[in-house]
Amino acid sequence: MTTIGQRFIEILTSEVQKNGRKTEIVDVFQWVHLISLEIIGQAGIGHSFGILEGNVPDYLAASRDFFALMAEVWYFHPFITFFSRLGPASFRRAVVEWIPHRPVQRIISVSDIMHKTAADIMKHKREAMVNGTLDSEVAAGKDIMTALLRQNLVVAPQDQMTDEEVLAQVNGLAFAGNDTTSSALSQVINLLAKHQEVQEKLRDEVHAAHRNHGKNLDYEQLNSLSYLDAVCRESLRLHAPGAFAIRVATKDWTLPLHYAVKTKDGKATLTEIRVPKGTNLHVALRAANKDERTWGADAEEFKPDRWLEPLPESVSNARIPGIYSSMMTFLGGPRACPGMKFSQLEMKIILSGLVSSFKFDPSEDKIKWKATGIAKPHVQQPDGRVSRNPMMPIRVTALGDLE
């Protein structure tokens, strides 16, 4: 992962300096989206998308467009669970293809691209296993897809995953890992561009680590950088890539409320809510992360230093069930994000490399974040129109070798 990050810095440096200047307006979202896919490809599923060689795979655009398309057809969401249980997959496919609505047809197209990509990778992995050439493959067979295929060879038939289940796992890893991490990286870079004092302090810490350990920081060395960790935590608290999650009650339940609420007529105060089985629950991740009753009056402010000292008692008293620092960014419980540690490491590797090599300043463009499943930056025009595709122009200055 570190090698990929270093190569990314070299490519971005060339992009910034391509016109003979040290400063250029760069669409940072495009670049972090590219590198996030390549990292999850190589380290997660043992496949290179060729991005470091200049390729832009169809998978990238497909994964970029999927959530936006799903947001366009929000009125179909209540029926998804019903349709998912309706007959075989071939029948469901035929029903969806019959719907004469462009966003639905685009969803079919991008889904086919992602499915075909994963199927081609799985076929290649199986051939490498048969031919005994895994050691010469990307990740040398130490990736999740290979692990799943190997496990299928040793478990009982009834415990084996079907091809569709393996493909679903791989697509889930590549798709979710790429979109969420690129969103998180874009958010933190945008924050650093707006808060120069934080950016300088972070750069000083990374440069000091490079002087002590060299530029190839390992896992332990990266995690020892307290301010880097604080910046990442604070950005993920303020701007969780996903605004909310949906869960379904599997049984009748009485949900206790940490903060009492009044009824609509204001005549009663509720400390618990009765939740019948089958109820759809919208879990407000960002609201929990920025509740002033929990985090204090400065909950909406970007203050990495809050993580360098004990958090208020109100945070621990809230007993937030998230798996990450009393936040709901990575959810909680058995369905929490399985890639949390991976994404944290990826974020720290890329961010430490970027701040040590570049200075970031806001551009003249107004950035508007659209939460179409995963929050992504768009450029807002003076007349209020917003760019169709996500982008985040930032003024990037190459610093050269200052260490």
pLDDT at 5: 87
Report helix angle 89-98 to 77-84, nearest 10.
150
- Show pLDDT as tens, one digit a residue, over the chain (403 residues): 778 888 999 999 999 998 888 999 999 999 999 999 999 999 888 899 999 888 888 888 888 788 778 777 877 777 776 777 777 878 888 888 888 888 889 889 999 998 999 899 999 999 999 999 988 888 888 888 888 889 998 999 888 999 888 888 888 888 778 889 999 999 999 999 999 999 999 999 999 999 999 988 999 999 999 999 999 999 999 999 988 888 889 999 999 999 999 998 988 999 999 999 999 898 999 999 999 999 999 999 999 999 999 999 999 999 999 999 999 999 998 889 888 998 999 999 999 999 999 999 999 999 999 877 789 999 999 999 999 889 999 999 999 765 5
In the block, tokens 């040793």 appear at: 154
Q: Which helix (H) or strand (E) holds 342?
A: helix 340-357
Read off the pLDDT of residues 93-119 as tens digits, 9 standing for 90 and up.
888 888 888 888 988 999 999 899 989
Q: Which residues contact 199 (CB under 8 A, 6 or more apart)?
A: 192, 193, 355, 359, 360
Query: Which of 341, 350, 342 has the alpha carbon at shortest distance from 34?
Result: 350
Query: Which of 133, 114, 135 has the alpha carbon at shortest distance from 41?
Result: 114
Domain ranges of the chain: 2-241+340-398
Q: Cβ of 252: how many Cβ atoms within 10 Å?
A: 11
Query: Which of 187, 173, 190, 117 has the alpha carbon at shortest distance from 363?
Result: 190
Which residue numbers belong to the known binding site?
337
Read off the pLDDT of residues 148-204 as tens digits, 9 standing for 90 and up.
889 998 999 888 999 888 888 888 888 778 889 999 999 999 999 999 999 999 999
For residue 312, give both structure tokens.
Answer: 């208020």
Residue 242 near residue 374 (C-beta atoms within 8 A):
yes
pLDDT at 372: 73
Length reported for the chain: 403
Q: What is the dihedral of CA 386, 8, 186, 291, to 10 degrees?
A: 160
Which residue numbers belong to the known binding site for heme?
337
For domain 2-241+340-398, give the fold: Cytochrome p450 (1.10.630)
pTM of the model: 0.89
